[in-house]
Amino acid sequence: MRYFLKRFGFMALTVFAVCALTFFLMNAIPGGTAELILKHTFVGLEESATEEQLNQISSRYNLDDPLYIQFFRWVKAAVTGEGIGTSYVFRKPVLYLLALRLPATIQLAGASMAIAVLAGVSLGIYSALRENRISDHILRVATLFGVSMPCFWVALLLILVFSLKLKLVPVAGYGSLENLFLPAAALSLHSMAAVMRVTRTSMLETLGQEYIRFAKAKGLPLRKIISRHALKNAMLPVVTVIGFQMGNLLGGTIVIEKIFAWPGIGSLLVDSISARDLPVVQGCVLAIVSMFLLVNFLVDMLYTHLDPRIRYG
Amino acid sequence: MKNKNTPMCIILITLLVCASLLSSGCTSSEGSETAEVAYSNTLVLGEMWEIETINTVSGDGGTLICEKAAITETLVGANPDFSLKPGIATSWEQLEENTWEFKLRDDVFFHDGSKMTAEEVKFSLENVIAENPRVASMLKIASMEAVDDYTLRIETSELNPILPGVLHYPDTAVISPSSFDEAGEYVKPVGTGPYKFESFDEQTRVLTVVKNENWWGGEVGLDRMVLKGIPDPNTRAMAIENGELDFTVDVPYSETDRINEVEEVNVEKYKTPRVYKLDVNLEHEPLDDVRVRQAMSYAIDRYEIAEHVLYNVGEPAAGPFLPSMVWANKDLQPYTRDLEKADELLTAAGWVDKDGDGIRDKDGKPLKFNLMTYSTRPGLPPMAQAMAAQLREAGIDVEPEVMEYGAINDRRAEGIWDLYLAAYNIAMVPDPEYILSNWYMTGGPDNGPGYSNPRVDALITEARTIADLEERYRKFNEVEAIVYEEQPMIIVAYYGCAIVKKDYVSGYVFDPTAHDYRINADMYIEK
Amino acid sequence: MDNVFADRFRREGFLPQLGEYGGEFAKRVFQRKDMLFALAALVLFAGVALFAPLLSPYDPNAIDLKNKNLGPSEGHLLGTDYLGRDLLSRILIGARISLSIAFGVVLISLLVGIAAGCAAGYYGGLVDECISRVIDIFLSFPGVIFALTIMGVLGSGIFNLMLALSVVQWARYARLMRGQVLSLKKQEFVLSAVTSGAGDFHIIRRHIVPNAIAPLLVLATIDLGHVILSIATLSFLGIGLPADVPEWGAMLSAGKEFMRTAPHQTIFPGLAITFVVVIFSILGDGIRDILDPHHEGGEMY
């Protein structure tokens, strides 16, 4: 119990620090927040703004207050449950925007993770069982090239092949399973390769172990050995790699969402950064970091569950 | 070994949760898809910006709701030559210096069924003045009075000859008070236009409008129009090729000719009221020397840029105005490339390549400038590079730099720049005064170069008080001629717009006065 | 597998033995065909990068608008890009830029990571607590924001890009290093050095770093590829190098507009990136198999 308290304490601390960091970094980016907000909401990017208009914006959003006061105000509102600010561009509460956008990102990341785990684990096992045979080599080389291609390039190639050549799925959009297929596939590629590699290595290691040989000698069918004994032990490193990959996936959504016009928080984050829509940036970062920490927490829990040798003190 | 299956269970459960999340996402949208079947005459439009807001007075909302979704209408319309024509207002008159009277159509109904009167027009204008400081500063309205149901009298705070022009600006479009809820919060646009607001999906940011059966302008072409924001030009191109869109704009310029060849898709290229222009920092030596600026203008090959960088989506430009604009100075021709003349001018200014490195120098200092631009408009970065290469051939070393917009703002404020390539709107308001005074008058808000010419200032101030259009335009033509000679801003090309649509989309008429593009009521789908 | 060699490294430290066992290390590398192949390819790329100005047939920045978007031909072996610049020359010069950015970023992250990781692991207590929290923050923070801030404040440029990427990368090295130091600290040779009164810095330099570095080097090798991928991603988002710098990632993202009309503009830089990343992955995997067969670095790689 003490462990959980401590862990959650640290998570809260990290989230707070990240928010503070975002806030001050965003204010350090050149451009003048008031001016860019004005241009994004009223004037048009390429037009000029007058002093009077700038002052109006500054006072509307209290941008002239010292930064620490602005930040304190934000924290206070967040802690007291008042919300985490209102978007300058959308003129809606940030929480409302996040509630709209978050499901799309979770859906995308979840689907990618599902593909990565399902395909990665099965290919990994297959590859381990066929160690050093042709199919193993082909698989390994294929994944090696898969991870080595820039994500957005893969996405564009997938569109070319599956949408324009084969006419199987739509190019962009959101809502149906068809729409989800390409972005999830493009996003999952790196993680899938990572999961596959880890599964293969740890499968090989497990299969080489004494008790598996013993089970084999006893004449248990291979299928049973794998599902009953080998898989469980081989899963340990796989679970860890999932935790790590979650971070990559969340980062990758930014690019993938842009290409596929996917209405998630990744694209929201990038747009808000260029519009200096600070409350939204804060909100997105808060959401992304919390998700990342939460997934890692769950992974750790799963890990303890799988490996009783680890005990938290 | 009793819990040997638990880990697999946990993984399975996690996957199931993911799967159920997915399926929940899918089922929710299927309902709306079935509804679409009821409408046969539906057009899906791929909009070039993300649809951030449907508020008619904020951000891109005004342009979107008025011009692209055709939900609202403005008091004043404009002809293709940018001269004004009646919109919802049938006529207007400047009664006294600061007093205007607008007569309104008496047959206009809002989408909620109520009749539009001067009261609602007054309400709409008050709303935009309160919400949008930019438009407020252009309108300069002191007070308004509804004389009768169809007459609106406007008092301006100072002489404002461009008032009718400003009332063509989409943010000033007329909305019904029922656009707001009881608490005064904006809910949805209730306008008078050919299309009625149906829904806006805040999650997917898709806007749907349907035909207004009682439009005062007559029959409306489409039953329904779905606007989807697809910010990536590549994605728009692939989506229309794949049949997901019926109409879109600005696919990558290099793709326009290829897509035109694609079956059932056609591409039309138009000029829009926007120019690519190169601001020159006149405070930096030797850019204050008119000969250097002229030489630069002669060194730039506008025709080559239009053909090879813009793929003819855009044309070489002479002055700040499109030749088709009624007030444009039609005598001006784009500077054509002439390296000899550039050499003459630069040599006369004392810039000669003494050390033989290909770059001219004077007093041991090389002729070297930096050039900033941004990437939100796809033509700018390659144009900056092409221009740098062309200037280099004339012995001018130019270093192009693509920066984020905010960083450019800061550099301009601090004066740390030589050249700045940007795409500027030239008819925010269909009147020449607005652009000329903003760009070229001493201290004008868009006068980035810091240009100051007493003759230009005098001409513009004079023109303000002249009511006669011919006379007024003559003054402006003279201003255009002066800045053409002095080149404080090097106007490179007119901005183009590529309209991409399916062959079965008929009746589309391009409106050059629109800010990106305008959907006209007559457009329909041919079955 | 045969772990005697690796165990010896582990016991006696990697760096001090490098001279002595360098030969054996090399022998092991030569036994693996994939590593040999990757190494040869790396040498080739490095050679290309070094001699790029001599090899490239054209000035990589010479614009020739009339000959834009040309496919591969005799005049231009890999064709020209959207401004008529010779693609082969740009890729050759790009090798130099991409590789030097990758090495720069990895070197900076490695140094910072080692310093932070040593401090945290060796001193423990409050120092460890603080540094670990900072590491956690950096590991969970979206890298785009850092990149954007740094590039925004400092302007775009090769060095600034290196800095922006290093800020994101160093934390992984620090975390790995900290774990290594923690396990080494309990080992006898370190304990005896402590009792013999050696200074902290001496112990860290002589005993800890040399023994802990192997998994970090593996991570660094694989990271060289990742950095090149990150540059491409940043270019896609519009943050990164000035457009005329012939860097592969920037070329790839600039060429994506021409994917349909002139696909060679994305294919060649894309392949260059893919190959280099593959090479570093193979080398990294190989070095790990030789030095760190028990995967002490965990799944950091």
- Name the most confidently modeled range: A214-223, B169-178, C160-169: B169-178
Interface probe, candidates A148, A255, A276, A289, chain C, greatest C C-beta count within 10 A: A148
Can you give the pLDDT at residue B16?
52
**Residue C260 is nearest to which of B258, B309, B381, comparing CB atoms?**
B258
Residues B116 and B209 in one domain: yes
C299 pLDDT exceeds 60? no
> How many C-beta neighbours within 10 Å does residue B199 have?
14
Cα angle C88, C90, C95 (rounded to 5 degrees) comes to 100
Q: What's the pTM?
A: 0.84
Stretch B156-171: mean pLDDT: 90
Q: What is the 3-state secondary structure (H, E, C) of B449-493?
A: CCCCCHHHHHHHHHHHCCCCHHHHHHHHHHHHHHHHHHCCEEEEE
C61 is written with which tokens?
């920045």
C295 pLDDT exceeds 60? no
Can you give the pLDDT at residue C21?
62
Instruction: Tell me if A260 sits within 8 A of A172, measured CB to CB.
Output: yes
C-alpha–C-alpha distance, residues A205 and A191, integer Å? 21
How far does the CA of residue C296 sit from the closest CA of chain A (Å)? 12
Residues B318 and B447 in one domain: yes
C-alpha–C-alpha distance, residues B105 and C225, integer Å? 67
A313 pLDDT exceeds 50? no
Q: What is the amino acid identity at position B440?
A: Y
ipTM of the complex: 0.81
**Residue B386 is nearest to which of C65, C242, C260, comparing CB atoms?**
C65
Cα angle B63, B67, B72 (rounded to 5 degrees) comes to 95
Residues B333 and B194 in one domain: no
- Name the most confidently modeled range: A255-264, B406-415, C102-111: C102-111
Query: How confident is residue C296, by pLDDT bands cut at 50, 70 and 90?
Result: very low
Residue bearing the bigger pLDDT, B66 or C137: B66
List pLDDT tens digits, range B345-367.
999 999 998 888 889 998 888 99
Can you give the pLDDT at residue C12?
55
Can you give the pLDDT at residue B76?
94
Stretch B98-102: mean pLDDT: 93
- Chains in contact with A, counting 3 or more C-beta pairs less than 8 Å apart as contact: B, C
A284 pLDDT exceeds 50? yes
- Name the most confidently modeled range: B74-78, B157-161, C241-245: B74-78
How far does the CA of residue A76 sit from the closest CA of chain C (Å)? 21
Specify if B33 maps to a domain: no
Residues of chain B found within 8 Å of residue A180, distances taken between Cβ atoms? 22, 25-26
* CB atoms C259 and B403 under 8 Å: no
Can you give the pLDDT at residue B482?
95
Specify if B288 maps to a domain: yes
C240 pLDDT exceeds 80? no
The reply to whether C201 touches chain A by the CB within 8 Å rule is no
Mean confidence (pLDDT) of chain A: 82
Specify if B509 maps to a domain: no
Can you give the pLDDT at residue B25?
45
List pLDDT tens digits, range B180-209.
998 888 999 999 999 999 999 888 889 999
- Nearest of B68, B72, B205, B56 to residue B135 by alpha carbon: B56
Can you give the pLDDT at residue B26?
42
A295 pLDDT exceeds 70? yes
How many whole angstroms from its chain centre is CA C206? 25
B397 is written with which tokens?
């070393």
| In chain A, residues 267-306 whose CB comes closer than 8 Å to chain B | 267, 271, 274, 276, 302, 305-306
Look at the domain C35-291 and name its fold: MetI-like fold (1.10.3720)
Residues of chain B found within 8 Å of residue C256, distances taken between Cβ atoms? 234
Q: Is the peptide bond before B286 cis (omega within 30 degrees of 0)?
A: yes
| In chain B, residues 242-261 whose CB comes closer than 8 Å to chain C | 252, 254-255, 258
Residues B49 and B167 in one domain: yes
List chain A domain ranges. 2-94, 100-306
Stretch A228-246: mean pLDDT: 77
Residues B109 and B217 in one domain: yes
Query: How confident is residue B210, by pLDDT bands cut at 50, 70 and 90?
Result: very high
**Residue C152 is nearest to which of B252, B389, B407, comparing CB atoms?**
B407
- Nearest of A128, A152, A285, A291 to residue A222 by alpha carbon: A128
Query: How confident is residue A133, by pLDDT bands cut at 50, 70 and 90?
Result: confident
Query: How confident is residue B34, by pLDDT bands cut at 50, 70 and 90?
Result: very low
List pLDDT tens digits, range C39-63.
898 898 888 888 888 888 888 888 8
Specify if B245 maps to a domain: no
How many domains is chain B partitioned into structurally?
2
| C124: Cβ contacts below 8 Å, ≥ 6 apart | none
Can you give the pLDDT at residue B301?
95
Per-residue b or e along B257-275, where b marks 16 or more CB atoms closer than 10 Å to that residue's CB: eebeeeeebebebbbbbbb
Stretch C134-161: mean pLDDT: 78
Query: How far are the Cα atoms of B326, B374, C153 from residue B319, in angstroms, in the given order?
Result: 14, 22, 36
Mean confidence (pLDDT) of chain B: 88
Specify if B461 maps to a domain: yes
C-alpha–C-alpha distance, residues B250 and B237, integer Å? 8
Specify if B471 maps to a domain: yes
List pLDDT tens digits, range B298-342.
999 999 999 999 999 999 999 899 999 999 999 999 999 999 999
- Nearest of B97, B102, B100 to residue B120 by alpha carbon: B102
Between β-strands B419-425 and B397-402, what pairing exists: parallel, antiparallel or unpaired?
Answer: unpaired
Tell me the residues of C at the B interface, defined by beta carbons under 8 Å apart: 61-63, 65-66, 68-69, 82-84, 148, 151-152, 155-156, 238-239, 242-244, 254, 256-262
List chain C domain ranges. 1-31, 35-291
Residues B379 and B282 in one domain: yes
Can you give the pLDDT at residue B440?
94
Least confident of A56-65, B262-271, C173-182: A56-65
> Right CATH number for A100-306 from 3.30.930.10, 1.10.620.20, 1.10.3720.10, 3.30.460.80?
1.10.3720.10
Least confident of B139-148, B474-483, C66-75, C238-247: C238-247
C-alpha–C-alpha distance, residues B343 and C24, integer Å? 67
A198 pLDDT exceeds 60? yes
CA torsion sign, B475 to B479 to B485 to B491?
A: negative
Q: What share of chain B is helix, strand, coil (3-state, %, to 5)?
A: 35, 25, 40
* Domain hosting residue B143, numbered range: 39-229
Provide the CATH number for the domain around residue B48. 3.40.190.10
Can you give the pLDDT at residue B24?
45
List pLDDT tens digits, range B391-407.
999 999 998 888 877 78
Place of tokens 């990742």: C226
B5 pLDDT exceeds 60? no
C71 pLDDT exceeds 90? no
C-alpha–C-alpha distance, residues C65 and C72, integer Å? 16
Question: Reduced to 3 states, what is the DSSP secondary structure of residue B155?
Answer: strand
List pLDDT tens digits, range C183-234.
888 888 878 888 888 788 888 887 888 888 888 888 898 889 889 988 888 8
Can you give the pLDDT at residue C56?
83
Residues B184 and B302 in one domain: no
